[in-house]
Structure 1
Amino acid sequence: MTVIAAACIQLRSGKDTSENTARAEDLIRAAAGDGATYIQTPEMSNVLVRSREELIARIDVLERDLFVTMARRVAADLGVFVHVGSVAVLAGGGQVANRAVLIAPNGAIVETYDKVHMFDVDLPGGESWRESSTYKAGEQVPVVDLPFGKLGMAICYDIRFPGIFRAQSRLGADILTAPAAFTRQTGQAHWHVLQRARAIENGAYVISAAQGGRHEDGRETFGHSLIVDPWGDVVAELDTDAPGHLVAEIDLARVSKARARIPAIANERDFDCRMTRAFREEPA
C-alpha cells in the first residue's frame, strides 16, 4: 500500500514574475512543512498577462525561467517532487508554450508537457479567449512512472477532453492532473463536476491546483484547488479563491479497489459511430 501526502498550491499570479515566484516559494515550503512530498502549483504559475506582446516581454526560455529555477532549487532543498502546473515560456520562432514541468527531489526535470487544447471560447457577458493566438499547442501527453505511482500530466482546458485521461489511465496512471486557471464563470458551472467525472470514469485520483481571484490583468479565476479520490469523493478542497495551500493523504490502493469495483477500462471496447438519416417523405 502506497500512501503519500500531496499538496496543491493556490496562487493569484500577476504580471511580476519575481513577485509570483517569491509568493509561491513560501507556499511550497509551507506545504512541505505540513508533510507533503508531491506539491503541485497551478497553470501559469510564473505570470498571468493577457496581452501577447507584454507576455513575451516578461518571459524567457524554460532553462532561464525564474519560477522553474526556484522550483528546482526548492525541490532539491526539501527533497520533494514539485509539479509546476505550467509556466509561459519562449518556445523559439516567436512562439510561446504553456508548459508543465515535473521536478524530482534532486532538482532534476523529470518531464515536461505542453498544453494540447487551446481555450478558444466566447463566453456569456462578452468574455472571450483565444489561447491559440498566443500559444503553440502541444502534441504529446505523458505518463510519468514515479516511485509512488504513475502520474498523468494535463493542463486546465484539457479536463474537458476525456480522451487524454483515458489514454493515460490505459497506461496505468494512478494520478491524473489538471492544474488550472479556470475562469470564474466556467469554474462556478463546471469545475467540480469535471474533476469528479474524470476521477470516476478512470478510477484514479485527480489533483488540480488552481489560480484564484481577480488578477492584475483584469481576469477572474475560480480557485477551489481540489484533490478527488478514485470513487469521485473530494478528499480536500481550498474552498475559496484566495492564495494558500492544502495537503491531504492519498492512498493509491484505492485506485485498484475502484477499478475492481467498476472495471470500465477493462470493459471498454472499440466501436464505430455512424449517422443515420431518418426517412423524410417528400412533399407532394
Structure 2
Amino acid sequence: MTLPRTPSFNLSGKRALITGATSGIGEGCAVALAEAGAHVTLVARTADKLHAQAAAFTNEGWGATALPLDISDIASTEAAIAQHGPFDILVNSAGLARHSPAVATTIDDYDTVTDLNVKAAYFLTRAVAKGLIAAGKTGSLMNISSQMGHVGGIDRAVYCATKHALEGMTKSMAIEWGPHQIRVNTICPTFIRTPLGEQTLAIPERRAWIEEKIKLGRVGEVTDIMGAVAFLASDAAALITGTSLLIDGGWTAD
C-alpha cells in the first residue's frame, strides 16, 4: 500500500517580497517566510529602520535584503521589481486606515487610503506577476486584506471599500493567472495587536464591540497570522487560489 505524503512547507530556494515589513503583520509575515527557508526582500519607506531589520534577520541566520521603497510610487515600484525580481512569493502588507463617519470623510482621506490600499496593491501585484510570467515561473501572491473586506464596520466606510475592492481584484487576477500556475489569495485578519490596531483597541466602546464580535473572545496577535502566510506560500496550498483565508476568531461566522 502506498500512502500519500504531506506536501512540503519548506520554502528553501524561494524569493519572497514583503511590503510593510518593518512592523506589525508585515514583520511577522517576513519572519514566518524566512523561518521556512525563503530569502526575504523587506520593503518599507524608512531606510534606516529597514536596514536595521534586515541586519536582525541576517543575525538569525536568515537570508534577507532591504529594499527601501514607497509602493504608492508606482513607476519606481515597477522598476524596482523588474530589477530585483522575479519573486516567487509576494506578501503585500502595506496599508493604512483613516477612520471617520462616512459623512465626515474628506477627499484627502479617501484618496490617501484608496491610493495605497487599492491602487498601489493592484500595480504591485501586477508587477510581481509580470516578472513571474516573463520568467516562466509559478508563484504565490498574497495581499493582506481584512475581515472588513467581507463585512461592514463602524466609521470604516472608506477602509471597508478598499478591502472589498482588494477581494474582487484578487479573484480576477487568480482567474487570469491560473494558467501560469500563479496563485493569488488574500489573508483577512480581525483586529490584531499592532500599532494600527491599537488605535481602535484603545477606545473602550470600540474594544467592547470587538470582543463581543470575536467568537473566540480575544483580539488577534501577529503570531496568529504567521502560520497562514507560510502555508499559502508553500506547496501545501498548491490548489488554493482566488480565495480569502479569514483569521477572524469567528467574526464573520454570523
TM-score band w.r.t. shorter chain: 0.3 to 0.5
TM-score between the two structures when normalised by the length of structure 2: 0.39
Bigger helix share: 2
TM-score normalised over the length of structure 1? 0.36
Query: Whose strand proportion is higher, 1 or 2?
Result: 1
Larger Rg: 1
